Structure 1
């Protein structure tokens, strides 16, 4: 069965009862002196102590009870990353309610499906615009963030209400993830899963004196992992609603750690290189020289090789002339970036290491509460996603598929026992659908994907088949291939039915644009097709581009039309 395996490390120390309420009580009992959160306000960033957060979570929890929300009820949140989101998360889980996160970019149709499928009884939204998306769902109540004060007042008046008991195997959250076909599936994560994942962030990755800038969406398991880990490790979390304002937030927050998807690091990398080139003349030459020196130092350090005295001198000079200035623009204290959800190129990793900022990669899925493997800052290897976290078992099937077994492995897909049986073996191993290699020291490298699911550079899972099938509903479209894996946005190659196009008497480009606009209409922004190309012929079986049953052979088509695809990203 296995071509390589790694046994679990000893379980990480943690709270005795692995439930979210117990984890939250643990955080409050630790009485950390640093702020729990930094929250955006009209006057800048406001510190929120653990004591204040604890009072508000308790008031919100009792307020929910006063409105009839109880153990096992689904509670949805449609909002950007914010203090209100995290406090509601802790409050809901404290009374045994099930948190269902919705992306601010979700369409009304997507929201309605998830709310109805999860049987949510109440939903919270951070604006009237977001609340409008919830009108079609069967909900008892929709509450706007601006009315949370009233809910807290009700909670304080309900001070004698008893919290329902919560067990480790109770459902804590439903996180919906796109599949290769059909509607999104709800991953059932228990309290045991979430607390185990929070404990796994240890191993020297974060420290209690860290300040983490969090702009990941909290509807995503990666964002939830980071925010819930703060209760286990005591670091301060700065909550930023708008990721496009990260550059503005950096000098004010001065973070030490940034968890992000690859696209964030790629944009910083491209931005710095662009600024250096735009400077021109001597400044550009010095910048190129400094990066060359920095990368040389980085490679020698990672290989355990000696750094010659002259190179050390050059490194200090490069730091003073270039790197220190770049780090200052990133807040001046940034020591670590944690990248997940999609691969990051070694060029980008080396660039940051040259600057004096280590970026490490990790691996996880919604089905593992985003926790499986991670590189330790004290022992890392670029191009890998690190060894398993504490308590996680990792092995490869005969075909190279990565299999995982861990306390973080989900309880299954909500209302979908067939998909659950497909994902989990009888003895508890998760079939990830990814193919990888494990080196002699247990470091995992992702080499391929068994499934066709696209993961954009921004970390969003997208089903290409759903988009392709939607395109092909038009009579003008013969075939379609959707592209976007590890890329900044989604594009499509389209072949046309010449008879239908000719009969229409219209410009083919305009016709396809209308089709694409129609397909995009009810989809989240990140799932929309941004650009397309019309290719002059159908994908052919003789060229190895489709199977006898006309299923696309994606890699072959992408190889044959590589030039057209690359043009869509220029």
Structure 2
């Protein structure tokens, strides 16, 4: 078992700039970063660009401790300016691309940033309101088509690497390395400040708990404003001298995975659900001997998945049979999603249905479910290769402590807990109590096996008019178990019973319709198609059968459009914005209760 002492020993005295220099010196010729256009930079080339950008930012006036905002998609220049700010001891912060101009203004003013780096004219237009409201602003860098008197990215790098950045005081592990504005599912965004120690402790424990091969290949596809991608896309590759391939277009994720064949992959639940739906669709088309072979192989893998969950060794006969079946049958299935070589698989940011984890378990894939917040540098708990149960988020990470408050709120403390929130005057205000405990806002329950189950966000618990406390995410997870249902929002606070808004999974719905021989091709048509509605009704009934009476959904509405971060119903990490949804669909919700009264 990995201990806190093991992690601290692996962490050593590393900082982000020191690791970048190490990689340039020791692994300079190895690939570091591949852009969406296929161009690749080595660690030496990346380091040179970072030093050049640091000199350019220094010339713009960026100084130690100042904040720098980045409004840019995932592209190599994003990595460069982020790491360049850290070279100077400044604090980079990426903003979500889905923020409105007014939300950008609020973040910009709150941050007190002195430098802003934007992608191009479109971002300049969206940031116009914010830039005019930033009294501390010293300069704006524009990567594409600068114009307007702003600093171009090419001009930023023009001075070359030089030595100026090297004269900056050496970073310490307790210095700030980044700031993240939370995505605001339950309230206004807050600036979460993280240190070198926070992020590199997370990297060290990840490698110790589930080691990847040397210099592992990974794919970065989540926004760099998200804690998961900052750790997995920036800091962990620095720690391992790995090779990151950027996938800036989420619709190209599957194609990117099958090309790169990463050795580690973290998927938010929606990604895993879509992969599962696609594989299930493919398996449903098998016939005869192929179907029988897959069925037998999956039975072996499912049995192994159940045994490994307890930490017990596989019986010799099962291990031998599974090895043969894996090579002949299961590995080719994993190749379809590009994950046949992945040795570290994770899921987090939202609950993932147990059925999805068990499905992948039957394909020889053990997905570790993690739980945490931006405030805990991502994963504070995790299931482990020899200790897991589908539906739980496992045990505290090495060095982390966990306990439940009287009302069931999960409290944590340890080296992954952030130092505090940025205040408007530049101070960092801690939010832990006198003993170092952070109240996470999540309600949890610890099972007899010691594994943590997250019930729901404390602020999102539903209390019905009869006083029953219900966790909506548990009900929604059962509803989403059917591939047709992409998202589900359960409503019922201070109401006599639960209702639900259901959104079809566009890809799965079209595939299902084609298999049924339906002529309808538009989502709006499918949402009203009787056979689709009958299938969804059956899915709701199956979910209700697994629920207590107060938790059952009494009425629902299938929506005829999709939700996205751009339309505002989802956060950039694809979590539900319940307040937004309930406000926008207030009339539909009232109709559901009127119909049932």
What TM-score, normalized to structure 2? 0.71
Give the match for residue 331 of structure 2.
324
Give the match for residue 504 of structure 1.
none
Offset of 1:11 from its aligned partner? 4.2
Structure 2 residue 251 is the aligned partner of structure 1 residue 244: yes
Mapped partners of 1:306, 1:20: distance in 2: 41
Aligned-pair RMSD on alpha carbons?
A: 4.4
Give the match for residue 122 of structure 1.
115
Offset of 1:161 from its aligned partner? 7.0
Structure 2 residue 341 is the aligned partner of structure 1 residue 345: no
Give the match for residue 64 of structure 2.
71
List aligned pairs for 1:190-229, cutoff 5 A.
190-207=195-212, 208-226=214-232, 227-229=234-236
Offset of 1:281 from its aligned partner? 6.7
| Structure 2 unmatched runs, 5+ | 132-136, 145-151, 462-471, 481-488, 507-558
Mapped partners of 2:185, 2:589: distance in 1: 24
Change (3 A) 1:445 1:488: farther
Give the match for residue 51 of structure 1.
44
Offset of 1:358 from its aligned partner? 2.3
Mapped partners of 1:314, 1:100: distance in 2: 47
Residues 506-544 of structure 1, C-alpha deviations (whole Å, 9 max, x = no match): xxxxxx99xx99x9689978657498472456979xxxx
Kindly report structure 1 stretches of 4+ aligned residues shifted beyond 6 Å: 419-422, 453-458, 481-489, 521-525, 537-540
Give the match for residue 13 of structure 1.
9
Mapped partners of 2:103, 2:450: distance in 1: 40
List aligned pairs for 1:531-570, cutoff 5 A.
532=585, 534-536=588-590
Give the match for residue 142 of structure 2.
144
Residues 102-152 of structure 1, C-alpha deviations (whole Å, 9 max, x = no match): 122222222222112111222222333233211111344332224423211
Structure with higher RCO (Cα < 8 A, 6+ apart): 1
SS of 1:395 mapped into structure 2: strand
Structure 2 residue 194 is the aligned partner of structure 1 residue 189: yes
Structure 2 residue 30 is the aligned partner of structure 1 residue 25: no
What TM-score, normalized to structure 1? 0.74
SS of 2:378 mapped into structure 1: coil
Offset of 1:158 from its aligned partner? 6.9
List aligned pairs for 1:70-469, cutoff 5 A.
70-138=63-131, 139-146=137-144, 147-156=152-161, 159=164, 162-179=167-184, 182-207=187-212, 208-226=214-232, 227-279=234-286, 287-288=294-295, 290-303=297-310, 304=312, 307=315, 309=317, 313=321, 316-317=324-325, 320=328, 322-331=329-338, 332-415=340-423, 423-438=431-446, 443-452=451-460
Alignment check: 8 A CA contact 2:50 2:80 kept: yes
Mapped partners of 2:325, 2:11: distance in 1: 47
Mapped partners of 2:457, 2:593: distance in 1: 22
Offset of 1:446 from its aligned partner? 2.1
Alignment check: 8 A CA contact 2:66 2:91 kept: yes
Give the match for residue 555 of structure 1.
none
Mapped partners of 2:197, 2:210: distance in 1: 21
Change (3 A) 1:297 1:539: same
Offset of 1:269 from its aligned partner? 0.4
Residues 68-117 of structure 1, C-alpha deviations (whole Å, 9 max, x = no match): 11112211112222322222221111111111111222222222221121
Mapped partners of 2:571, 2:390: distance in 1: 33
Alignment check: 8 A CA contact 2:309 2:387 kept: no
Mapped partners of 1:160, 1:396: distance in 2: 46
SS of 2:410 mapped into structure 1: strand
Mapped partners of 2:186, 2:10: distance in 1: 39
Mapped partners of 1:390, 1:487: distance in 2: 40
| Structure 1 unmatched runs, 5+ | 1-5, 459-463, 469-477, 490-511, 541-559, 565-570
Offset of 1:483 from its aligned partner? 7.3
Mapped partners of 1:315, 1:161: distance in 2: 52
Change (3 A) 1:314 1:191: closer
Change (3 A) 1:412 1:222: same
Mapped partners of 1:451, 1:485: distance in 2: 22
Residues 26-46 of structure 1, C-alpha deviations (whole Å, 9 max, x = no match): 4445437642223332xxx33
SS of 1:188 mapped into structure 2: strand
Give the match for residue 31 of structure 2.
35
Alignment check: 8 A CA contact 2:421 2:429 kept: no
